[in-house]
Amino acid sequence: MAAVVKMIAVDIDGTLLPSAGAAISRRNCAALEEAQAAGIEIVIATGRRQAFATPLLAPVGLRPETVMITSNGAVTRTLAGEAIHRDFLPVETARALAPVLRSFGTTVFTFDHGEAGELVLESLEQAHARIALWVEANRGSIREVRPLERAFDGGEAPVQGMVCGSMDAMGRAEACLAASELAGQIEVHRTEYPARDLTILDILPPGCSKGAALRRLADGRGIRREHIVAIGDNWNDLEMLETAGQAVVVANGAPDLVVLARQRGWEIGPGNDEDGVAQIVESVLAESRV
């Protein structure tokens, strides 16, 4: 008999959201709301910062105390904004990253102060050329600083660094970071979109990930891994999937991750354009009623 599910962790982009558009489907909304009403804790785990994720979730109808793991695990808060946990990249580490990453692509540092200018980059024009939709959606929160190293002159530490570019360039950037003296001071998480030739490298404090944040939360609740379901689509979900007793990779996930999921015996769920999250959650609810 399968273990009773007490917690479901869900990624947003590529998993809860459809491939086109920025609205969560009615079926996905209804399934998450029903699961929460049935006593299952819903956890949203995303690479987005909270201010960029919260508006998407408003139509779902989740309770204000719903936990959100944002910035790929660096920040954990409730949907209502109650602080639970934060990790920071030390200022000197962040400052040292700026010149290393400059030649590879667009670099962004995320600060977590709830005010304008939470996102700092060197060139809005360069970012727009590679990630135009992200720039337009976040324009009100973006601040240009040249050179980027000056962003840390005030002593404020960011929660996350990010560099994005072609898959080839980001492969070289990841190898460069792994071989650098910064390797032991950071954690690198990769998100790949082969169809767009786009890779995003998120740079976090050591040991920081969606999985680490989910384990911390579950341990605090007294929930064992066999009672957790995690649903994701990309490599930045890997630690979260490994944390859960029941890992589900949606069919539209990064191709190499889907291959890994099959090798590990994880479930391959319906794709994001088929309301895959809803189908998985509905299945969990049906099993709980047996």
pLDDT tens track for 241-270: 999 999 999 999 999 999 999 999 999 999
Query: CB pairs under 8 A, 24+ apart, for 259-267?
Result: 266/241
Going through the chain in order, the beta strands assigned E by DSSP cover 7-10, 41-45, 67-70, 75-78, 83-86, 106-110, 119-121, 142-144, 160-165, 187-193, 198-204, 228-232, 246-250, 267-269
HSE, CB side, 13 Å, CA atoms: give it for residue 72.
28
d(CA 289, CA 5): 12
pLDDT at position 285, please? 97
Of 289, 271, 288, 236, the residue nearest 28 (C-alpha): 271
Domain count, the chain: 2
Query: For 184-243, how does the pLDDT look when each residue is reduced to its tens digit (9 = 90+)?
Result: 999 999 999 998 999 999 999 999 999 999 999 999 999 999 999 999 999 999 999 999
Q: Is residue 2 part of a domain?
A: no
| 62 half-sphere exposure, CB direction, 13 A CA radius | 26
Regarding whether 223 and 270 lie in a shared domain, the answer is: yes
Q: Which among 143, 248, 130, 236 has a CA at the least distance from the CA of 192? A: 236
Residues 169 and 12: their CA atoms lie apart, in Å, by 25
pLDDT given for residue 22 in this prediction: 86
Final residue of a structural domain among 158, 183, 204: 204
Q: How confident is the model at residue 151 (pLDDT cuts 50, 70, 90)?
A: very high
Q: Are residues 277 and 214 in the same domain?
A: yes
Q: Are 93 and 182 in contact (CB under 8 A)?
A: yes
How many other CB atoms are there within 10 angstroms of residue 36's CB atom?
18
Domain boundary among 204, 239, 268: 204
Q: Output the pLDDT for position 21.
A: 84
| 7: confidence class by pLDDT, cuts 50, 70, 90 | very high
Q: Are 169 and 106 in contact (CB under 8 A)?
A: no
Residues 186 and 216 in one domain: no
Is 250 found in the same domain as 169?
Answer: no
pTM of the model: 0.95
Q: Which residue has the tokens 């201010």?
A: 51
Single out the residue in 153, 180, 204 at which a domain terminates: 204
pLDDT digits (tens, 9 = 90+) for 41-85: 999 999 999 999 999 999 999 999 999 999 999 999 999 999 999
Q: What is the pLDDT of residue 102?
A: 93
Q: Clarify whether residues 193 and 225 are in a common domain.
A: no
Owning domain of residue 103: 91-204
pLDDT category of residue 1 using cuts at 50, 70 and 90 = very low
**For residue 125, what pLDDT is reported?**
86
